[in-house]
Amino acid sequence: MFIVENYYVAILFCVITMLCWGSWANTQKLAGKTWRFELFYWDYVIGILLLATIFAFTLGSNGLQGRHFIADLAQANWANILSAFIGGVIFNAANILFSASIAMAGMSVAFPISVGLALVLGVLINYFAAQKGDPLFLFGGLFLIVVAILINAAAYKKMNAGNKKVSSKGIMISVIAGVLMAFFYRFIAASMDLENFAFPAAGKMTPYTAVFIFSVGIFLSNFVFNTILIKKPFEGEPTSYAEYFKGKFNIHLVGILGGVIWGIGNSLNLIAAGKAGPAISYGLGQGATLVAALWGVFIWKEFKNAPRGTNTFLTYMFLLFAIGLGMLIIAGA
C-alpha cells in the first residue's frame, strides 16, 4: 500500500486535507439553491463511501509495504473494527448538525464555530492519546486559533447589529456539532497502528481499511439520523425519500462530488497521521475553517453588507488563523 515516509510530504497531505475539508460545503451551497440539504446529504454520504472504497482497492491494495486491503480487513479484530465504525457514527451525527448550521448561519460563521471548536478539543484529545509534537508551539498555535474564532464571532455580531430577526439556533447547533466532531478522529486513530503502517500490529488496521469501516459507519447510521431529519427538519417543512428519487442526475452528482472531496481529505489526513502524529495531522486538517471562511467572505459574499469595521475583524481572524496553523507545522517539525 502507499505509505508516507517524509514529514513534509505528510504536511502537504494535511494542507490538501485543509483545502478539501474547507471546500466540500460549496457543493451544498450549489445544490441548496434547488435541493434540500437533507436530500443532498444522502448523496454526500454515498460520495464518502465511494471514495473510501476506491482508495481501499487502489492505494490500499498496491505496493510492497503494509497489508493489502482485503488481507488487512480479514485479520482486523472486532474491537478495532467497532472503534472505526463508532467514529463514523459520531462523525455523521456531528456533520448532519454541522450541515444544518451552514444552511442557517452560512459558511463563514458555521465553519469557525463548529470546526474551530472541534479543532481545539480534537487536538487536545489526540495529543494526550499520542503525545507527538512540541507542546509549546502546539498549544500556542491553538491559542491563536481560539482568538481568531472569537474575532469571527465579533464580526458576525457586528454584521447583525440591530437585526431583531437573527436566531441563535444556527450558532447553538454549530457548538453542539463542534463538540461531537472533536471525538470522531480519536476512534479511527485508535483502530490503527500509528507507529508502523508498513508492519502494523496484528488486529490493528491500515488507514485505508480504517477509513473504509469508518465510511460504512457513516453510511449505515445515516439511515437513522437522516431519516429523522427528513421527517423533522431543523428548518422548513418535512420532506421524503420520494423527493430524493425525483432529483435530477446532475443534482445528485453535486452531492456525491461533495462527499468525494471530503473523503479525499479524510483519507490523506489519516495516511499522514503516521508521520505527523494524530494531533498535528488533525489540527492542520481542521484549518479548513480558514479555507471555508475565505469562500464565505470572497465568493459567497456573506459579509457583503456588513457595517464599517467588520473587514478589520475578518483580516485579524485570517492572520491569526494563518499564524496558528504555521505554529502547528513547526510543532511537528
pLDDT tens string for the chain (333 positions)? Answer: 999 999 999 999 999 999 999 898 899 888 877 888 889 999 999 999 999 999 999 999 998 888 999 999 999 999 999 999 999 999 999 989 987 787 777 666 676 788 778 888 988 898 988 888 899 999 999 899 888 877 877 777 777 665 545 457 878 888 899 999 999 999 999 999 998 999 999 999 999 999 999 999 999 999 999 999 999 987 789 999 999 999 999 999 999 999 999 999 999 999 999 999 898 998 888 877 778 778 878 887 777 777 888 888 889 988 998 899 899 889 987
Residue 288 lies in a domain: yes
Residue 144, domain extent:
7-332
CA torsion angle for 312, 316, 317, 319 (degrees, to 10)? 140
The per-residue pLDDT for 167 is: 54
The per-residue pLDDT for 332 is: 82
Q: How far is CA 300 from CA 24, 41, 149, 261, 293, in A?
A: 14, 20, 20, 19, 10
The CA angle 287-115-280, to the nearest 5 degrees, is 45
User: Number of folded domains in the chain?
Assistant: 1
The per-residue pLDDT for 106 is: 66
Q: How far apart are CA 60 and CA 53, in angstroms?
A: 10
The per-residue pLDDT for 264 is: 97
Residue 2 lies in a domain: no
Residue 1 lies in a domain: no
Residue 299 lies in a domain: yes
The SS3 of residue 303 is coil
Which pTM value belongs to this model? 0.89
The per-residue pLDDT for 185 is: 93
Please state, as a whole number, how many other Cβ atoms lie within 10 Å of the Cβ of residue 66.
Answer: 22
Residue 137 lies in a domain: yes
Q: How far apart are CA 272 and CA 25, in angstroms?
A: 23
The dihedral region occupied by 62, where left means phi > 0, alpha psi between -120 and 50, and beta the remainder, is beta
> At what angle are helices 169-190 and 207-231 packed, to 10 degrees?
150
Question: Is 203 within 8 Å of 134 (Cβ atoms)?
Answer: no
